[in-house]
Structure 1
Amino acid sequence: MEVYTQELPMRTSRRVELIDITSMVTGVLESSGIRNGILNVFSRHSTSAIFINENESRLLSDIESMLEGAVPVDASYGHNIIDNNADSHLRAVLLGGSQTVPVINGSMDLGTWQSIFFAEFDGPRNRRIRVSVAGKP
């Protein structure tokens, strides 16, 4: 079994931003030479997340609205005494910091409408995403 890893730098431009990174991750998979195994996408930041869903603008807006309703920016959070970004941390907890996708015949085994997203909750910032692929060439 071989393991390949690559860090993807990213600059976000808004406080809350959902960015389709599927093509970037596909590029890493192609560079890895791995044909069958698993691929993991991991955000190295506690105020961001990685999720898989459909890349449809109204759905992405719905996701942002759902997160705002579940974790309002202006609520009273203990952590805000330190950084005033507790909502960003809590939203990241809800979505999670990584996703794992099977790799079959050199391609990610995503469903027809699935894309991989980086979710920024405390931008704009410079971010780093770690993509690791393990398997057989």
Structure 2
Amino acid sequence: MKVYVEEFHVSTKSREEVVVITAQVERIVERSGVKNGLALIYVPHATAVVTANENEPRLKEDILNKVRALFPRGAGYRHDEIDDNANAHLANVFLGFHVVMPVVNGRLRRGTWQDLMLIEMDGPRSRRDVVVVVMGE
């Protein structure tokens, strides 16, 4: 079994933001040379989320609004006594910091409307890391 690891970085401009990362991940999968296997897309951050969904502006706004409603800022979280970002940590725990997708015939196998997205919850940040591990044959 082959294992290929590559990392890239994105910057964010807002406190909360959706950044589409599909093209970067697909290039890494192609460079990996893996024909059939799995791709792990992982963000090594405690205040960002990674997911897959439709890259439609109104939906991205809906996603951010729902995340804000589920994990509102300033809701009396104990961690906010240290940093004003407990809501971002909670979003990471409950929504996730990795996605696993199949690689089929050398390509990331995603649904028709699925794009990979990093959801920034504690920005802006000059550097958010994304680690991609492609495993297979």
What TM-score does the superposition give when structure 2 sets the normalisation length? 0.96
Equivalent residue of 2:112, what SS? coil
* Structure with the larger strand share: 1
- Contact in 1 for aligned 2:38/2:136 (Cα 8 Å): yes
Letter in 2 for 1:109: R
Aligned to 1:108: 108
Letter in 2 for 1:132: V
Letter in 2 for 1:128: D
What TM-score does the superposition give when structure 1 sets the normalisation length? 0.96
Aligned to 2:82: 82
Cα RMSD between the aligned structures? 0.8
Question: Tell me, which stretches of 5 or more residues in structure 1 are unaligned?
Answer: none
Distance 1:68 1:118 in 2: 15
Seq. identity, %: 40
- Contact in 1 for aligned 2:47/2:91 (Cα 8 Å): yes
Aligned to 2:130: 129
Distance 2:103 2:35 in 1: 7
Is 1:52 the equivalent of 2:87?
no
Distance 1:28 1:106 in 2: 11
Equivalent residue of 1:67, what SS? helix
Query: After superposition, what is the alpha-carbon deviation per residue over 1:80-113, rounded to whole angstroms, capped at 9, x for unaligned?
Result: 0111110111111222000000000011110110
Distance 2:3 2:21 in 1: 21
Letter in 2 for 1:87: N
Query: After superposition, what is the alpha-carbon deviation per residue over 1:12-40, rounded to whole angstroms, capped at 9, x for unaligned?
Result: 11110111100000010111111110000
> Aligned-pair distance for 1:134?
0.3
> Aligned-pair distance for 1:69?
1.0
User: Where do 1:1-137 residues align within 5 Å?
Assistant: 1-125=1-125, 126-136=127-137
Query: After superposition, what is the alpha-carbon deviation per residue over 1:39-63, rounded to whole angstroms, capped at 9, x for unaligned?
Result: 0000000000110111111111111
Greater CA drift, 89-98 or 99-108: 89-98
- Contact in 1 for aligned 2:53/2:114 (Cα 8 Å): yes
How many residues are aligned here?
136
